[in-house]
A and B are shown apart, each in its own frame.
Chain A
Amino acid sequence: MHFFNQKMASRFSGAVQIANLDDFITPSQECIKPVEIKKDKSRTGSKIRIEEDGSYVNVSGGVPEKLARVDITLADCLACSGCITTAETVLITQQSHDEMLRVFRNKEAENKELVVVSLSLQPILSLAEALKLPHEICLDKLCGLLKRLGADMVVDMGIAEDLALIEEYKEFTERYQRFINGDKSALPMLASTCPGWVCYAEKTKGHLLPNLSSCRSPQQIMGRLIKGYLSPQMSPSRIYHVSLMPCYDKKLEASRSQFSVEDSRDVDCVVTPVEIMSLIKDVCGEGGLQTEDDCALDWPWVEIEKCQPLTRHDGSGSGGYAQRILSLTAKGLEIESVPKFENVNRKTDMQVSHISEKGQNLKIAVVTGFRNIQNLVNKMKRGTCDYQYIEIMACPTGCLNGGAQVKGQLKEVEKAFSELPLRDVANLEDLYSRWLGASDSPKVLQELHTTFEAVTYNPNPLGIKW
């Protein structure tokens, strides 16, 4: 027999934790799952002694036999009648920088023809600050490192962020129209780009799912671009796609069944700044990242105007969704001075802007952190929520403060972010027509949107925690 026995500390956002995802293993009650490796039909039962060091010894045969420990896998976990969800451990072992390196080093054995790494903005700022490097240099060196380790292509996620903003606004105008035409359930629209919030909503607030934006997050749009558009002749399973993201919850998002085609995940592995820091320690030698060669980002999107890396959209550090909805709505209403976002309760983790001109009464909010999410959800339940669009992020103040960003430097990262040059959403009509046919084709729904499903509480009666 083999045994599992492990401990762990949670690194997911508060929203994910409270949604009971990782509630099944507590530090005092470890996962201990037996796996039968041989069956001795002649004996009934077996006698096992626990040694002082915690190892197990089978003493039912003649000679005491020390039992080995093995690692847990997703398959074991799902087959286990005991604790059901050890999703965290499983995700972290299946989507770690070690796993990424393993595939990088065994491309042929793993049957991978093309290895692509997509970079989001917030982790680069976090790494640059942690390594005390100017962010341009940090980006070039990181690119060089990833190429040296085996990446064929390193790309910026900006193009996917732009697509997400375009689709988000399209959905808002469509919902707003429905709302004006009498469908009061069309609003508020709740951003769904944060997987921590989505997980919490699916597990505990199923009634809110129709209000969630159906737009894919930039990570998952990037997934479709890489696996569905970049080289359509290549089977998606031949491409290994890694994304660098500011939080662990993104690993969860990448694992959603909605984001796999032909059993191949659009994003195979999500790594985070915290992991890149330990990767640098492991593979860069004493000189650190500085000693890597400089390398520029790839731009594989033929005939599409290049999107400048290390630029940002106006608004929050989480993508600027609310700001863009606000700006475009104000523009549509021909309002000249766009109202600003104001802090609610002297804290920066909740902000609201109010369009009250021209007979309008529109409120657009940025709600971050579990506490504010909770209050928002309660307001919606009581019918006192008067916002029309809400950018929701599980981490307090948003993605710059993502759960896997390097700790203790939020202020510096926020400052670096605020100093980045602003950019507008690119004109991507060419991309729409090449890839999706048209901006309103059914393929847009298929490639750039997704669905949500309420998770009904259906406990294994033998595994209920009490």
Chain B
Amino acid sequence: MRIVAVLAIGGLALSAAACGDKPSSNNGSSGNGKKYKACMVTDVGGIDDKSFNTSAWQGLQDAKAANGNIEIKYSASKAETDYQPNLNALVTEKCDLILAVGGLMTDATKAAAAANPAQKFAIIDSNIPAANVYSMQFNTAQAGFLAGYLAAGSSKSGKVATWGGLKIPPVTIFMDGFAEGVAHYNKVKSKTVAVLGWDNKSQEGLFAGSFTDQNKGKQLAEQLVAQGADVIMPVAGGAGLGTASAAQASGGKTSVIWVDADGCKSAAQYCDVFMTTVVKNIAGAVKDAVVAGADGKALTGAFTGVLGNNGVSLAPYNKFDSKVPAELKTEIDALKKDIVDGKIKIESPAQPK
């Protein structure tokens, strides 16, 4: 009897789900020009790391939306040793452009580019001086500087904090910029806002040792809050979500500055704790590169994202728009202009040369 009941319910559910009409078959294939296949290899963070892999994939999707002739696909890497076979598999798949995401892929990309001189490659966060590789780098210290100034200006406790996934330049560059921004605020306003978690003079700080462990991110956040910090900037991809969840639990006492992609879009569930995001506009740079490639333009040399070309920026304040004082907003806009004009020099040793 029970079996009959299960079958009946299952059947009903299936038929309800399966009653749709067949879509007409002549959709898709709208473009009639030459197809351009853009493929990407993720690094070990995976496509949904809510950080640079997600951003790069977003860039490819944007490019596809802009030009119907662009086809996109990605291969995911589980380990560093997967980079080379993944790149080679995409060469076999006859991709027009193969995008390697992340500096750890430098050696594999270099080797694949040398072995396949006719194949076009692009890489993010690295600079490979080969004719068939287009390198994209981002000077996030500039936007981090603005975030540091904003954090210092909005902190009530006089203590702001940052922590990173690993002590490597693509991470510490955010933290350097942040610390320099706070220092600038202290200098201009004669205040003494302290930065926890990073000392840009000694280049020492607080690191989770992981870009994925959210529990660790939560622990670090609790530790920093216990020391008095009320604005925290985690620079650790998915692990940073732990800090966001800790901030949400604090009920508005702690706020977070997110990094890479606008947090209110990439991790919308925590939007109410994100003061702003230090945006590394990988999506934009990737989209521009792919669209240019599909238009038949040659992609060579290097691209460096700065405040001036919107390669890096400070995201909208979203839900904090009403909480950030108008005066502070104006000061930050002015600072941005000063950095673009070169009136303010950023010292971070991690900046791309």
A binds B: no
A-binding residues in B (CB < 8 A): none
